[in-house]
Amino acid sequence: MTRLQGKTALITGAATGIGRAVAERFAQEGARVVIADRDGEAATATAAAIGAGARAAVMDISDESSVAAAFSALAADGWRPDVVVANAGVQLFGHDAPAAELDLDVWRRTIDVNLTGTFLTVKHAVRAMLAAGGGSIILTGSPTGLNGEGRDFTAYSASKAGIHGLARTVAAAYADRGIRVNTVVPAYTETSLVTAISSDPESRAAIIGRIPLGRAGTPDDIAGAMVFLASDDGAFATGATFAVDGGMTTI
């Protein structure tokens, strides 16, 4: 398991959940990993748990100065990333709502982190990769950005739809300079982000009932797909959307 040997990967939102699982799997595959998270203490703990091939970076993806400073510091230390996973995001359960009921502040907070934050991560990843001659960028999408799955989550769904469009545009713009951009779309995946669903048996059963494989996703399910896209095995994949959703998009 050394498909990422010699590569350096930065994963945002990597202190917990899907991001942490991806960082752990990348490290197992031989990569050096940067645990980028706005929670510096949690990022440091995750990096320590992974071991010598990991380091923490405090990064608030909604703040360009924070993103730029993190990328600059990594480059100065010889940790310029070959792979960037733009995974960090928020879902404001109890606040996000159908459009007519949605507070503007909730919309702005969600877009600032999920869409603008992903854009800023991609922007500075592209700059770093242009200097290095190429690389792989992987975005975390959502079925809510593709279909009516998120009808009660207007801001979140819109932010994820924007991410899908961003990935295709950046892939087209930089393919001739060796930069690949793809989106992985998990179905309902049980992490701390979705405690509002996982702690409610009725809500959990309803969403799992729409997954043909009959179970929730796990962070490890997503990590395997991202290893492929980060590795040379995925060298001909760009601008694509990879559903890892237990068949959810087939119904």
Q: Residues 94-102: contacts with CB within 8 Å, 24+ apart?
A: 94/196, 96/152, 96/153, 96/154, 96/155, 96/156, 97/152, 97/153, 97/154, 98/151, 98/152, 98/154, 99/154, 102/154, 102/155
**CA terminus-to-terminus distance, the chain:** 34
CA 107/CA 154 separation, integer angstroms = 8
Give me Rg for the CA atoms of the chain: 17
CA 7/CA 2 separation, integer angstroms = 10
156 tagged catalytic = yes
Question: Which member of 26, 107, 153, 156 is catalytic?
Answer: 156
Q: Is 114 left (phi over 0), alpha (psi -120 to 50) or beta?
A: alpha
- Select from 87, 68, 79, 86 the least CA-distant residue to 32: 79
CB contact set of 177 (below 8 Å; sequence gap of 6+): 130, 134
CA 24/CA 34 separation, integer angstroms = 11
185 neighbors 221 (Cβ within 8 angstroms): no
3-state helix, strand, coil in the chain (%, to 5): 50, 15, 30
Q: What residues act catalytically?
A: 156
